[in-house]
Amino acid sequence: MDCHRKTFLLKFLCVAFLLNYSNVGFVDAATNIGLNYGLLGDNLPPPSEVINLYKSLSVTNIRIFDTTTDVLNAFRGNRDIGVMVGVKNQDLEALSVSEDAVNTWFVTNIEPYLADVNITFIAVGNEVIPGEIGSYVLPVMKSLTNIVKSRSLPILISTTVAMTNLGQSYPPSAGDFMPQAREQLTPVLKFLSQTNTPILVNIYPYFAYAADPINIQLDYAIFNTNKVVVQDGPLGYTNMFDVIFDAFVWAMEKEGVKDLPMVVTETGWPSAGNGNLTTPDIASIYNTNFVKHVESGKGTPKRPKSGISGFLFATFNENQKPAGTEQNFGLYNPTDMKPIYKMF
């Protein structure tokens, strides 16, 4: 392992993503960074080599998007790495029919790994609320929650949502869910509040910036200014990430859900694919500053005493994703496992 690769992420990935299961709850630590491990590429290194990379960087939390056998088998014996797995979107409808169906899925996809893989979360669907299959999420979540509780397993059950749930997001205090999101998401949030489990959110300032680069300041979008850009009553915002995060918090509160933890399951910036809006330098600045923001433990203006936990997206560039920026969110080249750009 060359020094360049080892030091690339070691500084900030050596911190632990702390989960306290003694009260079936979530303890938000001040510095929590994990990595997304996607598989939509035909030139990705073998899972065993990827895990060796994570171990060399002291990465302690990984998110995968399903329960791929080869990947989970590679994690066997590496219980120092927490793994978030997912229920595939296309499986939700069939699983929502009964708890027996969910139990069969659990026995097939989770139970074989319980002894030697540290599965920390099961995310029920990825960005399906709001939408045609969004209503299937809550029944599956409830069934999985019953299953893990009946077995006294330290696995948290949640779902991952995008910021498209917000019908209004500016200023943050005006944050409000769109009608379909209110119908599908609010019951999920109330259930998570009962189980004291975080909602999983994907937050990408890049997409908002790319949609209006003339009127949105780049430095504001990439955490690169200390100047207050958005003043919302007594709360001042220097970066777009906090604005989006807090808009979601405000929207939850308007539905009667207060103090529910949020884990950022995806954030990042593409290093190519959209001209001068997506360069390695900009991607490096965003990801570096996001990590510094998390490490500061300061939280957001709305939640200043609650540190942020998050997963950077993603480990590798994935060439089977749609052409353009989607193929260029990776921190590493898959062919040689070298960093695409330096951080810090």
CA 101 from chain centre, in angstroms, equals 27
Cβ(9)–Cβ(57) under 8 Å? yes
CA angle 64, 70, 76 (to 5 degrees): 80
CA angle 251, 254, 260 (to 5 degrees): 65
Cβ(175)–Cβ(127) under 8 Å? no
89, HSE (Cβ side, Cα atoms, 13 Å): 11
Catalytic-role residue among 93, 99, 111, 127: 127
Cβ(142)–Cβ(98) under 8 Å? no
Cβ(278)–Cβ(272) under 8 Å? yes
Catalytic-role residue among 266, 295, 318, 326: 266
Cβ(188)–Cβ(137) under 8 Å? yes
Please give the Cα distance from 92 to 104 (Å, whole number): 13
The token duo for 281 is 């330098």
Please give the Cα distance from 317 to 170 (Å, whole number): 32
> C-alpha distances in angstroms, 31 versus 200, 220, 293, 294?
17, 22, 9, 5
What is the DSSP secondary-structure string of 164-224? GGEEE-SSGGG-EE-HHHHHHHHHHHHHHHHHT-PEEEE--HHHHHHH-TTTS-HHHHTT-
Three-class DSSP category at 279: coil
The token duo for 321 is 């994703």
266 tagged catalytic = yes
Q: Give the active site residues.
A: 127, 266
